[in-house]
Structure 1
């Protein structure tokens, strides 16, 4: 209900109706259609057209769905935030597994051979990408971060680069097309994601999952990013070791 596609289809009158309803949901849920028409200065025909655009046969069905939406919002608002300790403790126990260490080592060898590292992520993952790029740069590893997947990256920058993609679910519709372009250009991808079965994990050369329980508040993903910061620092240190060992061998 009230998806971005639906909202974009509204005309001027329907948009004013949507603005009134979104600000007075509890009130509208118990109004008659004539009362809403009087309040919003539109015709009942406009309201019926608005209901159909929101996949409702009529105003009665619209009010039922509106009450369901109010109920869902109420549950989300009342939910308590859980302590992050349990999830973080479990992750650090798993971080000592040989499987995860092997993935870190494989990714480190891949990155150490690259001329540059490109971090990409959106939202909280974008912030972690910025942190990762700064941490790698502090270690002398040429790194940049991209929060906007449409940002133009010069071909020379991408040449012999490794992209480190960050996403909790691994299905971000903005990041995936960028990674697909990277794949077509035969550059390497390292994915750090919470979902091993995600599209991002499957198209990457190395996937590093961290397996913590996803958590949401009011439809916003608030899953802890502590494992991501730990993995980025661990990976950065291993890349640095690989680079030093290569220099010594030469």
Structure 2
């Protein structure tokens, strides 16, 4: 049970005494989590039985259970209970977003293992089939972006964000196939199972993920991305830019390694777009 969600739902039904307890819980979660029932009652200027009634209103049978539920919520992230003040103006938000994106690109550039990405690109360039796997919002986006970047180079590539489909595809792989698995957290255990299944059938596996994570440990090659996001919960994650730049570097290296094998499908794509879309050869290729 998410006790904070229950508390928010009940706020309109609380008595004034109970609202004082709720205000303390929301504003000083650490105190509420560690205080005795007498200490919490004293701070809220209510009686201990009022605290007990407050706990039962939140579907907790006792004050002890209430404290356990509060602790569970606090463990998930106090930054959601007492969020840092966010930038409000369009100018401040724009500067903050751009600055964080620039920092992410700089960080991934300075930490990039050139030898590893060179090895990964060589494997992808000669693959029989490339499978781009990722689940969840950002990781699924990366899988689709890998497909978008690689098909135009003449590679056979498919993307999937479905765990069951990923596992079935892994079971059908050949020894010259490759998985590129994307995971921001590195802890997607369904994806770990898929990687292990593919390796059992001799397919090669590449992971774009956090280093020293279960997915990193499962893959043959890890292209690590590990950035601190900060505590501003409303700001989009800047790690996306770091992952995307690794995808772009990998794709460009693959294109160079495939050389003329990549040029012909690129030419065909441009031919069809110029002929049937806008007659403008200066447009970005296929994007």
Q: TM-score, normalised by structure 1?
A: 0.68
CA distance in structure 2 between the partners assigned to 1:108 and 1:140 by the alignment: 14
What is residue 74 of structure 1 aligned with on the other side?
Answer: 81
The question of whether the paired residues in 2 share the 8 Å contact of 1:120 and 1:146 is answered with yes
What is residue 233 of structure 1 aligned with on the other side?
Answer: 248
Q: Secondary structure at the match of 1:120?
A: strand
CA distance in structure 2 between the partners assigned to 1:98 and 1:36 by the alignment: 49
Which of 125, 130, 133 is residue 112 of structure 1 equivalent to?
Answer: 125
How far is the alpha carbon of 1:203 from its aligned partner? 2.2
Instruction: Map 1:1-250; keep pairs closer than 5 Å.
Output: 2=1, 23-24=9-10, 27=14, 51=60, 58-65=61-68, 69=73, 72=78, 73-76=80-83, 78-80=84-86, 83-94=96-107, 96=109, 100-123=113-136, 124-151=138-165, 152-153=168-169, 155-193=171-209, 195-215=210-230, 222-244=237-259
The superposition leaves residues 145-170 of structure 1 with CA deviations (integer Å, 9 ceiling, x where unpaired) of 11012113275555521111111221
CA distance in structure 2 between the partners assigned to 1:90 and 1:184 by the alignment: 39
Task: Kindly name which structure, 1 or 2, has the bigger radius of gyration based on alpha carbons.
Answer: 2
CA distance in structure 2 between the partners assigned to 1:218 and 1:90 by the alignment: 18
How far is the alpha carbon of 1:36 from its aligned partner? 7.9
Larger relative helix fraction: 2
Q: TM-score, normalised by structure 2?
A: 0.60
Structure 1: any 5+ residue segments left out of the alignment?
4-16, 41-46, 52-57
Size of the aligned set, in residue pairs, is 216
The question of whether the paired residues in 2 share the 8 Å contact of 1:176 and 1:200 is answered with yes
- Distance 1:90-1:183 versus aligned 2 partners, 3 A rule: same
CA distance in structure 2 between the partners assigned to 1:18 and 1:85 by the alignment: 33
The question of whether the paired residues in 2 share the 8 Å contact of 1:214 and 1:221 is answered with no
Instruction: Quote the RMSD (CA, aligned, Å).
Output: 3.9
